[in-house]
């Protein structure tokens, strides 16, 4: 390998000949898709899942990026809520979701003469509980960013060099990750979360999560933003709107925002 991981990534993608990228408009998949298309042209396609756990604004960003870059994009209706394995929300929910998602991507790739399917996990993803990566391995889906050893920080740095709009975009996880394991996932709950998080964005917050516990909303924001939320006018607006969205109670997590907070209560070794 060279000393430049971006060059390594380009060489690896070039060696594949053709690839379908699972594209969510996030930092990692945007970077991977951009490099793949730069190297392979029309032999690199984007496949975006349309589902209740994928916010509309992310879908719109994915669509806009592909149109701007001239990338062929295919929309896959994953319908994961129809699966009891997913909707019942076991701790390995992500495995079932990814298995359904990538099985669909593989079909789309085959139908369009594309040899490989790739996803955008990076080296940092190996440090958290990620059952979805088991599905990636089982189905033979490629992980080019991990293949060349790229970390999140490096991906952001290279994204900035390439002028990508996602270089400083906050990390995002599917809306289902806002629901505690064992609590059933419904389209209604996911829509409540989406509307609530859209409101926080409208209020100027950049990093946030709205976790759902029955009829309770638990808001996570970075510690530095907590004071903003308890300002009386903003607090009142959040409470009023969240109740309008369907929540009975609205709480603020004093620990602040952290990734994977729903994993704190499970034993991932079993």
Which are the catalytic amino acids? 174
SS (H, E, C) the chain: CCCCHHHHHHHHHHHHCCEEEECCCCHHHHHHHHHHHHHHHHHEEEEEEECCCCCHHHHHHHHHHHHHHCCCEEEEECCHHHCHHHHCCCCCHHHHHHHHHHHHHHHHHHHCCCCEEECCCCHHHHHCCCCHHHHHHHHCCECHHHHCCCCHHHHHHHHHHCCCCCCCCCCCCCHHHHCCCCCCCCHHHHHHHHHHHHHHHHCCCCCCEEEEECCEEEEECCHHHHHHHCCHHHHHHHHHHHHHHCCCEEEECCCCCCCCHHHHHCCCCC
């Amino acid at each position: 390998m060279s000393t430049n991981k971006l060059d390594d990534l380009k060489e690896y993608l070039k060696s594949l000949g053709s690839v379908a990228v699972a594209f969510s408009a996030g930092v990692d998949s945007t970077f991977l898709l951009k490099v793949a298309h730069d190297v392979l042209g029309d032999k690199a396609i984007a496949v975006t899942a349309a589902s209740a756990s994928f916010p509309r604004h992310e879908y719109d960003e994915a669509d806009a990026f592909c149109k701007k870059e001239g990338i062929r994009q295919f929309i896959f209706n994953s319908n994961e809520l129809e699966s009891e394995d997913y909707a019942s929300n076991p701790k390995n929910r992500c495995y079932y979701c990814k298995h359904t998602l990538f099985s669909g991507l593989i079909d789309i790739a085959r139908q369009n003469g594309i040899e490989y399917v790739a996803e955008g996990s990076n080296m940092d993803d190996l440090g958290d509980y990620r059952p979805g990566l088991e599905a990636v391995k089982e189905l033979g889906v490629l992980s080019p960013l991990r293949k060349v050893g790229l970390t999140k920080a490096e991906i952001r740095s290279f994204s900035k060099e390439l002028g990508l709009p996602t270089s400083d975009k906050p990390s995002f996880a599917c809306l289902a990750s806002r629901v505690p394991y064992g609590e059933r996932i419904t389209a209604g709950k996911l829509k409540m979360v989406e509307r609530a998080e859209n409101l926080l964005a409208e209020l100027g917050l950049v990093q946030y999560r709205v976790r759902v516990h029955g009829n309770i909303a638990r808001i996570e924001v970075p510690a530095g933003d907590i004071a903003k939320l308890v300002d009386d006018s903003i607090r009142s607006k959040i409470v009023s709107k969240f109740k309008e969205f369907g929540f009975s109670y609205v709480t603020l997590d004093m620990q602040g925002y952290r990734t994977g907070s729903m994993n704190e209560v499970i034993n991932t070794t079993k």
